[in-house]
Amino acid sequence: MDFEWIGDPISVNEAARQLTSKTRTFYKTCKYLGTEYYIGDHVLIANSEADDPESFRHCYVASLVYMYEMKSNKKDPFRAQVQWYSRVEQLSKNLRKDGVHPPLDDAWELVHEGQRYKGDVSIETIFDKCSVLICEENEVPRGVGKQKKLCTFFCRFALGPKNSRDLVSVKESLTKQLADMTAKTLVDSFSAINQSDKEPTTPRRISTRSRKMSENDNTDSSVHPELINTPRSSTRNRQPSRQLDNGKNESCIPSASINTPRSSRRNRQPLLLVDSEDDESSVHTGPINTPRSSKRIKQPPRCLDETLPSPLKNSTFSISSNKTKELCIVIQRCKVTPNKEISAVELDQASKVKARKKLDLETPVTPTKAVEQKTPKKPKRAGSVTPGSTQKKRLRLTPAISSRSGNLTEPTSPLGEIRRRLHVAAVPQTLPCREDEFDHIYNYVEGKLADGIGGCMYISGVPGTGKTATVSEVIRVLKESQTEGDLPDFKLIEVNGMKLTAPQQIYVQIWNQLTGSKVTADKAAKLLHAKFSTNGPRHRPTVLIVDELDLLWTRQQDVLYNIFEWPNRPKAQLTVLAIANTMDLPERLLMNRVSSRMGLTRLTFQPYKVKQLQTIISSRLENLVYFEPEAVEFIARKVSAASGDARRALDISRRAAELAEKGSHNISSPTKSPSKRGAHPSKSTVTMQHVQAAIEEMFSSPKLLAIQACSLHEQLFLNALVQEFNRTGVEESVFDQVIRQHYTLCDLEGMSRPNVSELLSVCASLCSSRLILSEHGRNDIRQKVRLNIGIDDVSYALKCL
C-alpha cells in the first residue's frame, strides 16, 4: 500500500509549458503497491464508472507520458499524464470500420487515440501493468490475452486526425508523429540555441526509451511513447515563439521543486537509478543533474492511505491481486467444461447470472493445483473470445430485420413525389417556423457544454408541434460543431418515456447507452449516482434527452427526482432536456423538491398558427406547384383551428394529393397518362375539393351511415331508446323498459315481436359498435342502456330511410 518516487525529479520540456501557476515535479519512475512504473509503460487504469472497475473488460488502458507530483493538490498529489487507448466497443459507431480484416477483436484489441485525447489521472487509479503490441494493419499477433499475470493487448489502428472518421494504421500514424516530432525538434534546437543544455535531451531520450521498451516488448521499439502526445500538428506553427518562454520557465522550475524541503528525503544510494538505466543519468544535464536530484524521495505510506479520497480504494486495491486470480479461474472453468457452458446458455438471463455465481462459488473448492495445470492451455482460446462475449452473443439475436430482395422503387409520378415529401417521416432540410425555439435550445446547451457545467431545461407543447424534431436538430448541429472542434466532445443519451416498460427502466437505458452494458434497474441507478457524483478519469459532458417525461411519474417520484438531481451536482456535467406535453407539469404533478431541481428554464412550443402551417406545407412542396395556394391555406386554417398539429396538416395534404392522383387517373386513361398530364397539368393539381374530401374522410364520423347500415330491429331498438328517453327524460334506461317500447313500435309497424334473446343480441351488436352503451351483460334484462350518439342524429337518420 505504499507509494514512492524513484529517482530524481526530471525536467520535461514539453509538459513544462503547461505549468502556469501550480508547481509540479516530474519523475521518471515510481513505485506503487509494489509495482514499479516507468514512463512509457502501458498501464491499466480503474474505470470507476463500470460495475467492476478493475476487470480487464472494463478498465482503461493507457501509456504513461509523464508522472509528476503536484503539491498544491492536497487530495491527489501524485498524478500522471497518459495517452489513452480505447477499446473497440468504446469507438463511436461511425468510426467503426467494418471492412477491417481480420475483424476488430472486442476483447483484446485497442485503438490508439492519437492526438485527440490525453488525460490527466491520479496515479492511484492505476492498478496494474500490461503490454500493448503495436502491429501491422492486417496482422493479429500471437500471445495476446492474459498470460500469467500480465495482460497483453494489441493495437493496429489509431484514430485519425480530428475531423476524419477513419481509422488509420497505428504504425503509420506513429511514424508520422515521429516525423513531426523530429521536424519540431529541429525548430526547437534552432530556437533554443542559446540554451545549450536543453538541446540534446529529446533525441537522446528517444534512444534510451526505445532500448528500454525493446526489453519489455520487442514490437514497440521504433516508437517513442513519450512523443505520442507531444507534437500537435495544429499548434506547431506557434511553437517556436512559445518555446522561448517555456525554456525559461523550465530552467527555473525543477530547481525550485528540488529546493522544497522534504522531511523524508534521504541522501542514500545515489546510484540506484543509474543502475537500472545508466543512460538516463547522463541525460540529465544542467540543473537537474546535480547530486541532490538523484535523491530518492520516499513517502510515508500511512500518510498516503489517509489522503486517499474514498475508503473504497483501500479495499479494492488490497484484494486486487486475489481478484484477478479468481477471475482467471472462472474463465478457466467456463472454458474447460463445455457442457456446463451450454446449459448456462440455455437458461435465461437471470439464471445465467446464477450459474455464473455458482461457478464463482465453486472456485475455492477446486484445488489450485489443477487450475494451474490447466492454465497454460488457456491463452490460445482466450485470445479469441472471452466467455462473457460468447454467452451474450448466443443469447441475443442481432436486432435487425432481414433484408429484402428487390430494392425499393421511387415514386415516379409528380404527385407520388409530393406524397413522399409530405409524409410525416420525410426529414426536411430545415425546420421552418421553429427558429426562435431552436436558437433558445441551442444556446442553452452550447453554453452548458462550453462552460462544462450542467443544467436542465423543460420543453413543453401539445403533440405535433415539433418539440422532438427541434431538439434532434439542435443535437445534430451540436455534433457538427463538435466534429469541427468548436465544442468539447459530449455524449448524447436519448430516452423516451413511452419506450420504457416501467419508469425505473430509464436507469437501465441510460446506463446502456453510456457504457453498452446491461444491468438491473437498481444497479444502474447506483452506478449512475456514482458516475454523476465523481469526476472519473475520462469524464465527458453528457446531454440527456428525456422525451415524454410525464410517463416517468411514480408515486415516490424518485425517477424524476434523480433525473433533475444529477445535473445539479457539481461534477456531473450533465445537461437534461426534458420534453413533455403539458405546460404546467411541474406545478401540477411534481413535488416541490422535484420541480425546484428542475429549475426555471422552460420553453413552450405554441401550437402552429395558420401562417406557420402554410409555410411548413409549402416548404415541403418546395418548387412543386401542384397544390393550389388556397388549398394549402384551407388545410392550415382547418388544422390550426383544431389542434395546431403539424402532423395532421401533413396527413391531410398527403391524403388530398392521393385523392387528386386518383381523380386524375380516372379522368385520363392510364395508358397515355404521362403525355396527357403534361398537357393538362390542372388535372393533377390538388384543389379545394380534394382537400375538402380528405378532411371529410379523416374527421367526420359517419354516424348517419352507421345507423342506416343497421338491421331493421337495430334501428327500431335505437328508436325505442329515443322513445324511452322522451318518456322518462332520463338518458339511462333499463333494458326491459326499452323492450316494452320496442314491442309497441313493432306492433305499430305491424311486425312480429322478436323474443328477448334476439333483442339482447341486437343490443349487444349495437353496443359492440358503440352506437349505444350498455352495462355488463350479466345483468341480463336489468342492464342499463344509453345512447352513445345524439338523439337528433338517430331521429334524423331514421327519418331519412
Partner 1 sequence: MTSCTDICRSILLERMVFNTHSSIAIPEDFLEHKNYVFNLLKSTVVNGENNSALLIGPRGSGKTMLINSVIADLEAICNFEKDYVVIKLHGFFQTDDRIAIQEITRQLFLEEETANRTFGSFSENLNFLLDSLKVADRKTTKSIIFIIDEFDQFCQHKNQTLLYNLFDVCQSAQAPMAVIGLTCRMDAISLFEKRVRSRFSHRQIYLLVKPDFQKYSETFVSLLRLQQSRELKAIYVRSWNKSVEDLAQDPLVQGSLKKVFNLNPKLRLLQNILLVALSRLGESHPFLSSKDIVTAIESQTTDCKTLQLQGLSVLELQLLLCMKYLDKIYFGEPCNYEMAFYEYTKQMKNSSMQKFDRQIAMKAMEHLETLEFIRPVEGISSSKVQKEFVVYHILITSEQLTAAIAKYPNLPTEVKQLADTCL
List the interface residues with partner 1, window 434-463 (CB under 8 A): 462-463
Residue ranges in 198-217 that form contacts with partner 1 under rule CB under 8 A: none
Q: Is 484 in the site for partner 1 (CB under 8 A)?
A: no
Shortest Å distance, C-beta 773 to partner 1: 10
Rounded CA-CA distance 113/161 in Å is 10
Instruction: Report in angstroms the alpha-carbon separations of 108 from 60, 85, 380, 386, 390.
Output: 12, 11, 13, 9, 14
Instruction: Report in angstroms the alpha-carbon separations of 557 from 176, 532, 544.
Output: 55, 19, 18
- Residue in this structure with the C-alpha cell 349505444, named with its chain if needed: 772
Residue ranges in 9-48 that form contacts with partner 1 under rule CB under 8 A: none
Query: Of 158, 464, 149, which is closest to residue 321 (Cα–Cα)?
Result: 149
Among 82-90, 148-156, 620-628, 758-766, the segment contacting partner 1 (CB under 8 A): 758-766
Q: Is 401 in the site for partner 1 (CB under 8 A)?
A: yes
Rounded CA-CA distance 772/767 in Å is 5
Which position among 142, 149, 162, 770 is part of the footprint of partner 1 (CB under 8 A)?
A: 770
Among 4-12, 159-167, 354-362, 401-409, the segment contacting partner 1 (CB under 8 A): 401-409
Rounded CA-CA distance 283/274 in Å is 11
Reported in sequence order, the residue ranges of 673-791 that DSSP labels E, i.e. its strands, are: 733-734, 772-774, 784-787
Q: Is 758 in the site for partner 1 (CB under 8 A)?
A: yes
DSSP state letters, 733-761:
EEHHHHHHHHHHHHHHHT-PPP-HHHHHH
DSSP state letters, 531-584:
HHHS--TT---EEEEEESGGGG--SS-HHHHHHHHGGGSTTT-EEEEEEES-TT
Q: Is 426 in the site for partner 1 (CB under 8 A)?
A: yes
**How many CB atoms are located within 10 Å of the residue 628 CB?**
17
Q: Is 466 in the site for partner 1 (CB under 8 A)?
A: no
Rounded CA-CA distance 630/236 in Å is 62
149 versus 396: smaller Cβ distance to partner 1: 396
Q: Is 425 in the site for partner 1 (CB under 8 A)?
A: yes
377 versus 423: smaller Cβ distance to partner 1: 423
Which position among 642, 782, 790, 796 is part of the footprint of partner 1 (CB under 8 A)?
A: 782
Interaction pattern, residues 563-602, with partner 1; x per rule: CB under 8 A? ------------------x---------------------
Instruction: Report in angstroms the alpha-carbon separations of 279 from 8, 224, 757.
Output: 14, 16, 107
Shortest Å distance, C-beta 190 to partner 1: 52
Query: Of 790, 795, 791, 759, which is closest to residue 777 (Cα–Cα)?
Result: 759
Rounded CA-CA distance 130/150 in Å is 6
Which position among 427, 600, 641, 730 is part of the footprint of partner 1 (CB under 8 A)?
A: 427
Which position among 241, 407, 429, 671 is part of the footprint of partner 1 (CB under 8 A)?
A: 407
Alpha-carbon Rg for the chain in angstroms: 37
Shortest Å distance, C-beta 763 to partner 1: 12
Interaction pattern, residues 300-339, with partner 1; x per rule: CB under 8 A? ----------------------------------------
177 versus 509: smaller Cβ distance to partner 1: 509
222 versus 779: smaller Cβ distance to partner 1: 779
What's the CA angle centered on 499, arms 496 and 505, to 5 degrees? 85
Q: Is 411 in the site for partner 1 (CB under 8 A)?
A: yes
Which position among 71, 423, 588, 593 is part of the footprint of partner 1 (CB under 8 A)?
A: 423
218 versus 409: smaller Cβ distance to partner 1: 409
Shortest Å distance, C-beta 693 to partner 1: 13
Rounded CA-CA distance 73/69 in Å is 9
Among 171-179, 371-379, 569-577, 755-763, the segment contacting partner 1 (CB under 8 A): 755-763
Among 163-171, 291-299, 675-683, 777-785, the segment contacting partner 1 (CB under 8 A): 777-785
Q: Is 404 in the site for partner 1 (CB under 8 A)?
A: yes
Shortest Å distance, C-beta 541 to partner 1: 25
Q: Is 754 in the site for partner 1 (CB under 8 A)?
A: yes
Q: Is 792 in the site for partner 1 (CB under 8 A)?
A: no
Rounded CA-CA distance 164/483 in Å is 9
Q: Is 540 in the site for partner 1 (CB under 8 A)?
A: no
Residue ranges in 228-257 that form contacts with partner 1 under rule CB under 8 A: none
Q: Is 403 in the site for partner 1 (CB under 8 A)?
A: yes
Shortest Å distance, C-beta 721 to partner 1: 16
Shortest Å distance, C-beta 489 to partner 1: 23
Q: What is residue 112's DSSP assignment? A: E
Residue ranges in 509-538 that form contacts with partner 1 under rule CB under 8 A: 509, 518
What's the CA angle centered on 36, arms 35 and 42, to 5 degrees? 95
Among 251-259, 278-286, 498-506, 525-533, the segment contacting partner 1 (CB under 8 A): 498-506
Q: Is 736 in the site for partner 1 (CB under 8 A)?
A: yes
**How many CB atoms are located within 10 Å of the residue 229 CB?**
23
Rounded CA-CA distance 386/153 in Å is 13
Rounded CA-CA distance 433/47 in Å is 45
Which position among 186, 193, 353, 502 is part of the footprint of partner 1 (CB under 8 A)?
A: 502
Which position among 335, 419, 539, 638 is part of the footprint of partner 1 (CB under 8 A)?
A: 419
Q: Is 394 in the site for partner 1 (CB under 8 A)?
A: yes
**What length is written for the chain?**
801
Interaction pattern, residues 595-634, with partner 1; x per rule: CB under 8 A? ----------------------------------------
Rounded CA-CA distance 517/507 in Å is 12
Residue 163, amino acid:
N
Rounded CA-CA distance 793/716 in Å is 14
Q: Which residues pair with 6 in a beta bridge?
A: 29
Query: Of 204, 220, 28, 234, which is closest to residue 115 (Cα–Cα)?
Result: 234
> Maximum distance among all alpha carbons in the chain?
126
Which position among 548, 558, 628, 732 is part of the footprint of partner 1 (CB under 8 A)?
A: 548
- Give the side-chain half-sphere CA count within 13 A for 578: 30
Rounded CA-CA distance 182/184 in Å is 5
Q: Is 761 in the site for partner 1 (CB under 8 A)?
A: yes
Q: Is 366 in the site for partner 1 (CB under 8 A)?
A: no
Q: Is 636 in the site for partner 1 (CB under 8 A)?
A: no
Rounded CA-CA distance 456/604 in Å is 14
Q: Is 94 in the site for partner 1 (CB under 8 A)?
A: no
Q: Is 393 in the site for partner 1 (CB under 8 A)?
A: no
227 versus 762: smaller Cβ distance to partner 1: 762
Q: Is 95 in the site for partner 1 (CB under 8 A)?
A: no
Q: Is 675 in the site for partner 1 (CB under 8 A)?
A: no
Q: Is 165 in the site for partner 1 (CB under 8 A)?
A: no
Q: Is 748 in the site for partner 1 (CB under 8 A)?
A: no
Q: Exposure of 320 by Cβ count < 10 A (0-12 exposed, 13-18 middle, 19+ buried)?
A: middle
477 versus 773: smaller Cβ distance to partner 1: 773
Q: Is 342 in the site for partner 1 (CB under 8 A)?
A: no
Contact 471, 545 (CB under 8 A): yes
Residue ranges in 642-671 that form contacts with partner 1 under rule CB under 8 A: 643, 645, 647-648, 651, 655, 658
Residue 409 CA from chain centroid, whole number: 34
Residue ranges in 697-716 that form contacts with partner 1 under rule CB under 8 A: 697-699, 701-703, 705-706, 708-713
420 versus 602: smaller Cβ distance to partner 1: 420
Q: Which residues pair with 85 in a beta bridge?
A: 61, 112
